[in-house]
Amino acid sequence: MQSGCSKCGKPAVYLRRYTSERLCGSCLVQTTLDRVRRTINRQKMLEENDRIAVAISGGKDSAVLLHLLHMIESNYPKSELIPVTIDEGIIGYRDKALKAAKELTKSLDLGLEVISFKDLFGHSLDELVTMRTEKSIGACSYCGVFRRRALNEAAENLEANVIAVGHNLDDEAQTVLMNIMRGDSRRIARTNVPRSRSIEGLVPRVKPLGELSERDIVAYSHHLGLVYHDVPCPYSGEAYRNDLKPFLNDMEHKRPGTLLAILRSAEAMTEAFLTSPIDWSLITCERCNSPSTSNICKACKMLEEIRG
């Protein structure tokens, strides 16, 4: 990149397209930190004496999440970061990512809690996938439902009062469109519930990287040489979101700001849903007592289907 940093004039290494900023390495780090701080404050995601369970996958998003939270939370001595990895049991993938996660947390002088599907549900994801009778349900659907449950249980056991996940702007925009395309727009509100309105029985989940694009995250982690595992999951071909990725990338390239606009629309929809007279209260699953939209929760239904 030939021109200088828009902030300080030093040689730029990165162009943040949606803000039209050219950034040198140190301004890239500083503006990323500022952006995440703003997101946290705007949505009141964290409080100063939180025990924060940080979901660490071993990939770049969670590496950047932990790195940024580590800097931000150093100003709040009463808060605590508790990195947690959910080991779904995907041979050749999660085991390698777990190594990267351990290295990363060690470099920041933090421990790492590891909780596996096998321990919690009796089966690894690889086993669940071979056992499924409902072939139309993709591996990622099982993975998503059980990972969410596992993370909630882990956070409860560790007495964390909030869970931070590394979903980025690209992920969020894909999820919004996916829900619309599946005719499930109410879910947009369910997955974006602000912490202040969190559902009883569930540890609130916050997404501090929700306004950072995947490009921003790659640039940040490369600049700082963060340790992460970058091989795609063997099941990722089954993911619905992968079909949307090229379309959204193309739109963002042609019209920078598209992803952020989708996120803002989702926030407006969430607000409209949550303030509408619709009854959002959940019932309790008859089998496991978790909050659920139906008598038997999705995780229990999936386990029943698999165990036959």
- Residue ranges binding ligand SF4 (CB under 6 A): 88, 139-140, 143-144, 233, 235-236, 239
Q: Length of the chain in residues, anyone?
A: 308
Residues contacting 307, CB < 8 A, separation 6+: 131
CB of 41 to Zn ion, least distance (A): 23
Residue type at position 171: D
Tell me which of ligand SF4, Zn ion, none is bound by residue 139, counting a contact when its beta carbon lies within the kind-specific cut-off of 5 to 8 angstroms.
ligand SF4
In this structure, the dihedral spanned by the alpha carbons of residues 136, 239, 116 and 160, taken in order and rounded to 10 degrees, is -120
Q: Which is nearer to ligand SF4, 118 or 287 (CB)?
A: 118
Tell me which of Zn ion, ligand SF4, none is bound by residue 300, counting a contact when its beta carbon lies within the kind-specific cut-off of 5 to 8 angstroms.
Zn ion
Tell which residue, 43, 61, 46, 65, has the closest CA to residue 267.
43
Q: Which is nearer to ligand SF4, 26 or 249 (CB)?
A: 249
The answer to whether 227 and 29 have CB atoms below 8 angstroms apart is no
Q: Is residue 27 close enough to count as binding Zn ion by CB under 5 A?
A: yes
Q: Which is nearer to ligand SF4, 46 or 140 (CB)?
A: 140
Tell which residue, 260, 152, 259, 140, has the closest CA to residue 198.
152
- Among the listed ranges 136-144, 169-177, 258-266, 296-304, the one in contact with Zn ion (CB under 5 A) is 296-304
How far does the chain reach from its first CA to its final CA, in angstroms?
59
Q: Which is nearer to ligand SF4, 13 or 120 (CB)?
A: 120
Chain-centre distance of CA 121, in angstroms? 22
CB of 11 to Zn ion, least distance (A): 9
Q: Which is nearer to Zn ion, 199 or 288 (CB)?
A: 288
| 74, 202, 222 from 49: Cα distances, Å | 12, 19, 31
CB of 152 to ligand SF4, least distance (A): 16
Binding residues for Zn ion, per CB under 5 A? 5, 7-8, 10, 24, 27, 285, 287-288, 297, 300
